Structure 1
């Protein structure tokens, strides 16, 4: 029986993190553990985590480092190193998950592959209301959802979107770090996230490029593993050009391993 870790990345948005943890609490299939990759949040986030550590019957681990700017690749590597499960489902700290989210990911999981999944966007006004009411039971027809098709759940249709045609053209390296899944042994094989990425950029795309170069298959689950993205202002893009160069180098050189990665923490 495979075990599963839910990995949540977060930074100084404890109100959203609490909504996520409430949505985890209502899962039809609970993860074996939750690991929170905290990119330097203050005491408010720690307090929320401590509250839910006393509520959950599964381990809830808090992996934190000092706030020195956007260092998501580093904290994700540190958190993955602390995970103990075979399979990791990864979301961001702005994602509320459907009650069958973990169940769907587990049903879809297959050896020697990683999974791209979708998310729907919630508009700004609705997000404020959700935060105020602590509403976490969302569905495709909830108010303020901007792309309903991304959060319809139709398992019979999964095989249609799983096929490789979705990976042609610009879709080849398309991935959403806010909703993806992979085997822990596979991400360790390519040395995890590339810590040369500094600031916001396509760190998730660079990771999966190395995984595909290593022969690990990309699969796409659509109409399942539903996730709802809370509205927030975009991160700074000032490092995007440099980070994109790293991504393009991985593609051009068919790299499978990054020199500065998860091996530092294992």
Structure 2
């Protein structure tokens, strides 16, 4: 495989199926899907087994026991399971546009990681999107989205930008080109050399902290938020708590202040 696509999931079969369907219609085909499963029930495994028979993209299912929110650990295990030298990271609630993998492959460059974004959909549209809407890409058609209740916003320009327009918007956006877990990519060797994700961190900033260590290593980032498009399906976040945020903030402060490159508890904890 030339590229590996990694995303996490946890007991969210309805959203997971939509995401996998999005990857089943990609214009670039030489990639594998690696599902980083942070302890889902049997229904998730059954869905994955079913979809393996329906699509022609290889799916690797990496699962660990449910021990609370341990996304960093399962992502590290997924990195180890990957068979390519270039890794795209997204989330199990983000449907990719059909050129998503192609765009990441096109813009990859040694010495860089790529930074994309997502477009948040309200719950009613998230539920409405069908298999046919994904296969025929209606869920990325602004007219279809507005007809189904999407409010007018400057952010809607993501669905209209292409070619030179996308490049200009990528250049002028004030948003930092940070490592965003829902839409970023990099070379496997770079991720291994910084020891992957910090497994001391739970929800809140663990993706950004990885990017900060990549910067400390000497990498630069490239903005592709108006080129690599995915839509985010709405959901509740019951795993958010203030104590975890404070702990993660302190770790990130240390990473930046002391120019940490290799996290002490990361990929090598799973070897």
TM-score, normalisation: structure 2: 0.89
Partner of 2:189: 185
Q: Distance in 2 between matches of 1:140 and 1:241?
A: 40
Q: Distance in 2 between matches of 1:174 and 1:63?
A: 26
Partner of 1:149: 157
Partner of 1:139: 140
Aligned residues: 259
Answering whether residue 256 of structure 2 is matched by residue 251 of structure 1, we say yes
Distance 1:134 1:46, change over 3 A: farther
Are the equivalent residues in 2 in contact too, given 1:120–1:229 (CA < 8 A)?
Answer: yes
Q: Distance in 2 between matches of 1:228 and 1:159?
A: 20
Point out where structure 2 has 5 or more consecutive residues left out of the alignment.
none
Answering whether residue 99 of structure 2 is matched by residue 94 of structure 1, we say no
Partner of 1:108: 107
What does the per-residue CA deviation read over 1:222-244, in whole Å, with 9 as the maximum and x for residues that have no partner? 32111000011234133111111
Answering whether residue 49 of structure 2 is matched by residue 46 of structure 1, we say no
Are the equivalent residues in 2 in contact too, given 1:152–1:223 (CA < 8 A)?
Answer: no
Are the equivalent residues in 2 in contact too, given 1:152–1:224 (CA < 8 A)?
Answer: no
What does the per-residue CA deviation read over 1:138-186, in whole Å, with 9 as the maximum and x for residues that have no partner? 21504255631233341324543555x768xxx5574421111111111
Are the equivalent residues in 2 in contact too, given 1:120–1:145 (CA < 8 A)?
Answer: no
Are the equivalent residues in 1 in contact too, given 2:177–2:222 (CA < 8 A)?
Answer: no
Partner of 1:241: 246
Q: Report the alpha carbon displacement of residue 57 of structure 1 after superposing the two structures with TM.
A: 2.9
Answering whether residue 230 of structure 2 is matched by residue 231 of structure 1, we say no
Distance 1:79 1:149, change over 3 A: same
Distance 1:150 1:86, change over 3 A: same
Are the equivalent residues in 2 in contact too, given 1:120–1:151 (CA < 8 A)?
Answer: no
Answering whether residue 221 of structure 2 is matched by residue 218 of structure 1, we say yes
Q: Distance in 2 between matches of 1:253 and 1:157?
A: 39
Are the equivalent residues in 2 in contact too, given 1:100–1:225 (CA < 8 A)?
Answer: yes
Distance 1:111 1:149, change over 3 A: same
Q: Distance in 2 between matches of 1:37 and 1:139?
A: 25
Pairwise CA RMSD: 2.0
Partner of 2:127: 128
TM-score, normalisation: structure 1: 0.90
